Amino acid sequence: MSGGAASGTPRPLPGLPPPRPIPIRERASILFLEKGRLDVLDGAFVLVDEAGVRTHIPVGGIACLMLEPGTRISHAAVALAARAGTLLIWVGEAGVRLYAAGQPGGARSDRLLFQARLALDDEARLRVVRKMYALRFGEEAPARRSVEQLRGIEGARVRELYRLLAQRHGVAWDGRRYDPHDWSGSDMVNRCLSAATAALYGVAEAAVLAAGYAPAIGFLHTGKPQSFVFDIADILKFETVVPEAFRVAAAVQQGRPLDGRPVADPVAEVRRRCRDAFRRANVLARLIPLIEDVLAAGGLPVPEAPPEAMPVAFEDPVAIGDAGHRG
């Protein structure tokens, strides 16, 4: 038997030398892809449609690629995305169901153990949940409440926020109702909201993984593969994506143009507006510091990383643009 695998010598990855990963804070947020084959051709990451037309994807400059039904991907494309530190997420229609996800950056044992210790310590977990509540609503959580009680209080406040936003935008609203297994069964408003939150969950998961933490170990949310992603994303949800979903839904319900043009595809319009909202709110630069701030509230000492540990979030002390760069 011969070859690198048998001798213990690692085989070099095919293609060009690995690109230097761009820091998460410098990247574009998210890109949805459907109905095509992702591959690496002539050294470029491309989406090839049925007619053979190539669309170049700047894989190293994007935090997360959402692969919708009708998308296939080659081994070379997966390898290049991993080397570039770009999260790949296989999702259902409009990004509502998560089927699988890659892992950029890599989990760090010191950070995973720290996160697990916080989740297993009842007092530390409660402190983390109270911090998330304060960041989300701009006020301290009610005193002497358990995690379960705070979850109930938060749920009531969230339902009221949805109602008020619907009222503000003049949207007919019958509550947040959707079935992830039946996309077409939801009304147009709920489809817009689902598309908006899916976009936010994608970039939040990219940040959680890039920072070295586990998406499944949550504090307020539990028992889901993305529990911690939901915890973090929900802090920013009503600041960023939910208002955009209601703006689009209002324009469709009222039959009026949005920003001077008709809304032909509400879900696609929501996605575009969410990307703009991420840029305006500087979401990618805020996410990892937000994660660290939330976990620090638990009050447990942060373990020191072992000498051989990989850095998190592809940190680079030199930004791509200068101080006046608008990006």
What is the DSSP secondary structure assignment for residue 14, as one 8-state letter?
S
Instruction: Name residues whose C-beta falls within 8 Å of residue 307's C-beta, 6 or more positions apart in sequence.
Output: none
Binned at pLDDT 50, 70 and 90, residue 14 comes out as low
Whether 244 and 149 map to the same domain: the answer is yes
Whether 191 and 243 map to the same domain: the answer is yes
More confident residue, 131 or 88: 131
CATH of the domain at 239: 1.20.120.920
Whether 30 and 166 map to the same domain: the answer is no
Amino acid at 221: H
Highest mean pLDDT among 1-5, 189-193, 312-316: 189-193
Whether 288 and 194 map to the same domain: the answer is yes
Instruction: For residues 239 and 244, give the distance between their C-alpha atoms in angstroms, rounded to a whole number.
Output: 10
More confident residue, 94 or 301: 301
Percentage of residues in the chain having pLDDT higher than 70: 83
Q: What is the mean pLDDT of residues 279-289?
A: 87
Whether 29 and 177 map to the same domain: the answer is no
Residue 267: Cβ within 10 Å count? 20
In this predicted structure, the answer to whether residue 161 has a pLDDT above a threshold of 70 is: yes
Angle at 226 (CA atoms; ends 221, 227), nearest 5 degrees: 15
**Is 161 part of a structural domain of the chain?**
yes
Q: Kind and range of the H or E element at 76?
A: helix 75-84
Whether 123 and 66 map to the same domain: the answer is no
Q: Kind and range of the H or E element at 154?
A: helix 147-169
Per residue in 239-263, pLDDT (tens digit) is 999 999 999 999 999 999 998 999 9
Per residue in 28-71, pLDDT (tens digit) is 777 888 889 999 988 789 999 988 899 999 888 888 888 888 89
What pLDDT, on a 0 to 100 scale, did the predictor assign at position 292? 94
With b for 16 or more beta-carbon neighbours within 10 A and e for fewer, the 104-139 pattern comes to: bbebbeebeebbeebbeeeebbbbbbbbbbebbbee
Q: Kind and range of the H or E element at 286?
A: helix 283-296
Instruction: For residues 87 and 300, give the distance between their C-alpha atoms in angstroms, rounded to a whole number.
Output: 29
Whether 52 and 120 map to the same domain: the answer is no
Domain range spanning residue 122?
A: 109-296
Boundary-marking domain end, from 66, 101, 136:
101
Whether 88 and 185 map to the same domain: the answer is no
In this predicted structure, the answer to whether residue 152 has a pLDDT above a threshold of 50 is: yes
Whether 96 and 114 map to the same domain: the answer is no
Binned at pLDDT 50, 70 and 90, residue 107 comes out as low
What pLDDT, on a 0 to 100 scale, did the predictor assign at position 324? 36
What pLDDT, on a 0 to 100 scale, did the predictor assign at position 209? 83
In this predicted structure, the answer to whether residue 189 has a pLDDT above a threshold of 80 is: yes
Percentage of residues in the chain having pLDDT higher than 90: 53
24 closest CA partner among 277, 204, 233: 204
**Is 323 part of a structural domain of the chain?**
no
What pLDDT, on a 0 to 100 scale, did the predictor assign at position 307? 73
Whether 132 and 92 map to the same domain: the answer is no
Whether 70 and 213 map to the same domain: the answer is no
Instruction: For residues 233 and 244, give the distance between their C-alpha atoms in angstroms, rounded to a whole number.
Output: 15
Per residue in 79-89, pLDDT (tens digit) is 888 888 888 88
What pLDDT, on a 0 to 100 scale, did the predictor assign at position 98? 62
Q: Would you give the end-to-end CA distance of the chain in angstroms? A: 52
What pLDDT, on a 0 to 100 scale, did the predictor assign at position 16? 56
Q: Kind and range of the H or E element at 55?
A: strand 54-56
More confident residue, 59 or 234: 234
110 closest CA partner among 21, 219, 25, 211: 211
Whether 221 and 168 map to the same domain: the answer is yes
What pLDDT, on a 0 to 100 scale, did the predictor assign at position 318? 46
What pLDDT, on a 0 to 100 scale, did the predictor assign at position 291? 95
> Rg of the Cα trace of the chain?
21
**How far is the CA of 79 from the CAs of 15, 31, 41, 166, in angstroms?**
10, 18, 13, 43
Q: Tell me how many domains the chain contains.
A: 2
**298: its two tokens:** 């638990």
Binned at pLDDT 50, 70 and 90, residue 18 comes out as low
What pLDDT, on a 0 to 100 scale, did the predictor assign at position 327? 32
Q: What is the mean pLDDT of residues 175-184?
A: 82
CA atoms 225, 228, 232, 235: torsion sign: positive
Binned at pLDDT 50, 70 and 90, residue 317 comes out as very low
More confident residue, 304 or 114: 114
Q: What is the mean pLDDT of residues 221-246?
A: 95
